[in-house]
Amino acid sequence: MENQTIILVVMSIYMILLILFGIYQGRNVKTGSDFAIAGRKLPGWVAALSERATGESSWALLGLPGAAYATGLMEVWTAIGCVAGIIVAWVLLASRLRNEAEKYEVDTFTDYIAKRHGEVGKWIRIVGSLTIVFFFFFYVGAQFIGGGKTLNNLFGINQDLAMIIIVIMVIPYTIYGGFRSVTYTDVIQAIIMIVTLIVAPIAGLMYLAEIPEGSVFANSISDALSKSGEAYSTMTGGAVVREDSALFGTLNNWFPNSLNIVKGLGSGIIIAGAFSWFFGYLGGQPQLTMRFMAIKDARNAKIARNIGVVWTIIAYSGALMVGWIGIAIFGPNGLQDQETVMPEVLTTVFNPVVSGILITGVLAAIISTANSLLILSATELSENLIKQNKSSVTDSKKSLFQSRLVTALLSLVALLMAYFSPSDLVYAIVGYVWAGIGSTFSIVILLTLFWQRFHGIPALLTMVVGLTFTITWIVSGMDQVVTSRLLTFVVAGLTAIISTYLIKKKAS
């Protein structure tokens, strides 16, 4: 109980300071544009750390370590896909998107696509904004679930009540300061997150090396993976398809009595599914792309690129290590909920003060993404669907009020979605959003930037088909056979390319 009290005090002090800092930054927000994109004047280091904190969220501190704990070395493929996608985004897309945002004077993600494809700009705004808001309800809900799990695991707080506490933490400065408050508080979150992901693996390895044999499942990661079996100890062993799985059954129907072919195809499909996170990073995650667009100049874009790439490589290595250290300490079946492995490892290897500070990194990740998604959803609705006139000061103030009001309302709806979510796994929920939003909009952004022939009607069709296909594929249960993250990218890409060749652009 004493340890829990110390951790609670540390986390409470941090959250109070964070809220106050966010409100302080929000004092400079005067217009809807300030609220939505910080006037496109973010320093590179702020944009990079904010983008990374937003991109990783409870995914990197709960979902990915939990998946590494559950599958062993197999999860390396997911990390490779994510890291590759992030590097490509920073190196090839960030500067281009910053320049495009400045050229077209955009305030939102959908605003950019609509202005680039003006012949159907109105419909792109409507469909794009509604698609983003629909999926982001689930994404914000995933953050609330992640926060609820953390508080429940640490203090025994009812998870439903814990989610309400997370909402109370997120709302004040998010509503007041919008994008500016969110990005600057993200800097603090990103620093705590990276410190956690560096210090935790080092301390965990030292703990395993020093503790007497027999006190834990294994005294090293390699021992732990080996003792857990082939499914954990090789990058392909975890992909061996169980004969009672949906994937095995489907493939066996296609190739009856061909066991080796079935298992080989199954392994390839599972590895491709893990790597498929790559596709969502290619400009298709609006909350990340907005950070690229908000960078104030080309010089800062280069600074941001370097920071973003280095942060990513370190963070993903640390997240995987924490999951594997969890196997060594608790055994492959030692935790009831795999996604509590991070806080469990931290409270095991550190004293209460240090673990309290580092566990704050988990909440930091959750909050940094939750508030970013809320701001993005609110501005998409208010700027693209509600706001009617951008010309006068009066309308600008009205727009700012609308954005704040919509942010508050969306947070309450997202909380309700978290209660009724079809899955309580952060990993699964984020995966669905990565397909519906990331894989679909990545195609739209890539072709908008790099293919002059691509135009408005194909862009609109790609959004509709990507959204429809993702929902249909997941509801049908086929996502358990082949992930929608991969297939949505393929289907959206084919839709975009075929419709561009078949449908001529209207003369302007």
Return the percentage of the chain with pLDDT > 90, whole number: 39
DSSP states of 446-476: HHHHH-TT--HHHHHHHHHHHHHHHHHHHHT
- Return the H-helix or E-strand segment holding 103: helix 94-104
Burial class (CB in 10 A: 0-12, 13-18, 19+), 407: buried
Mean pLDDT of 133-144: 78
d(CA 506, CA 508): 6
Tokens for 331?
């055994």
Is it the case that residue 480 has pLDDT exceeding 90?
Answer: no
**pLDDT score, position 237:** 56
Task: Supply the pLDDT for residue 343.
Answer: 87
Burial readout 74-100 (b: 16 or more C-beta within 10 A, e: otherwise) = bbbbbbbbbbebbbebbebbbbbbbbb
Domain extents in the chain: 2-382+397-502
Backbone angles phi, psi at 471, to 5 degrees: -60, -45
pLDDT higher than 90, residue 494: yes
What are the two backbone dihedrals, phi and then psi, of residue 499, each rounded to the nearest 5 degrees?
-70, -30
Task: Give the total residue count for the chain.
Answer: 508
Angle between helix axes 109-116 and 121-155 (nearest 10 degrees) is 160
pLDDT tens profile 438-468: 999 999 999 999 999 999 999 999 999 998 9
Q: What pLDDT, in 10s, does the model give residues 27-62?
A: 888 777 788 888 888 999 999 999 998 888 677 888
102's tokens: 């400045």
> pLDDT tens for residues 166-220?
888 777 888 888 888 889 988 988 898 899 899 999 999 999 999 998 899 999 9
> What integer pLDDT is reported at residue 391 of this predicted model?
47
CATH architecture of 2-382+397-502: Up-down Bundle (1.20)
H or E stretch covering 244: none
Instruction: Round the average pLDDT of the chain to a whole number and report it.
Output: 84
Q: Residues 6 or more apart from 128 whose CB is under 8 A from it?
A: 109, 110, 113, 114, 380, 384, 441, 463
| Structural tokens at position 294 | 């908000």
Enter the DSSP assignment of 282. Answer: S
Question: What mean pLDDT is predicted for residues 370-385?
Answer: 82
